[in-house]
Amino acid sequence: MSSPEEMYQCQTMNCGYIYDPDRGDRKGKIKKGTQFKDLPDGWKCPVCGATVKAFKPLAGPGSVSAENAATSVVETETETEIKGAENGMKKYRCDICGYVYDPAVGDDAFDIPPGTSFDDLPDDYECPVCGAGKEDFSEI
């Protein structure tokens, strides 16, 4: 995988797609090794269709982590445990393209309603971006 400074995350609401140059974008026909700054004009997020302007680097200046560090509110361990226990569902990332399945959002492409845990997805569920199988997802 690329370094976090080379990876960019879509910031549109409920998306979170991560562009990784080591993976490229099969849906957009972007070859592996293509840096984010070298994406062609008109390239759009394969999940939500946002333009490159909706992306921020994962690390470094102007990054998601820098922004979160500057604006985050300190949360106690108990508050974190309560939040995790409230929904009890974890997000999963496609190991092939970086798409994130968020149970709070579901998946419109497969008519999966919000609130559906990853474990409750059908066995033949596929990544809506690259078509990878359920076995190609990892818990995040």
- Residue 91 forms part of a structural domain: yes
Q: What share of the chain is helix, strand, coil (3-state, %, to 5)?
A: 25, 15, 55
Clarify whether residues 8 and 65 are in a common domain. yes
The predicted structure's pLDDT at residue 34: 96
Q: Which of 37, 71, 105 is the last residue of a domain?
A: 71
Residue 101 and residue 53 in one domain: no
- Whether the CB-CB separation of 80 and 36 falls below 8 Å is answered with no
- Tell whether 111 is covered by a domain: yes
Last residue within a domain, chosen from 38, 71, 104: 71
Q: How confident is the prediction for the chain on average, in pLDDT?
A: 80
With 0-12 CB in 10 A as exposed, 13-18 as middle and 19+ as buried, what is 59?
Answer: middle
The Cα–Cα gap between 91 and 61 comes to 26
Task: Lowest mean pLDDT of 14-28, 34-48, 85-99, 101-115, name the range.
Answer: 85-99
Please tell me the distance from the alpha carbon of residue 60 to that of residue 4, in angstroms, as a whole number.
8
Residue 81 lies in a domain: no
Residue 63 belongs to domain spanning: 4-71
Percentage, residues of the chain above pLDDT 90: 34
Q: Are residues 57 and 102 in the same domain?
A: no
Q: Are residues 123 and 95 in the same domain?
A: yes
Q: Cβ distance 59 to 4 under 8 Å?
A: yes
Q: How many CB atoms lie within 10 A of CB 112?
A: 19
Query: Using one digit for the tens of pLDDT, what is the confidence trace for 85-126?
Result: 345 689 998 887 778 888 988 887 788 899 999 999 999 998
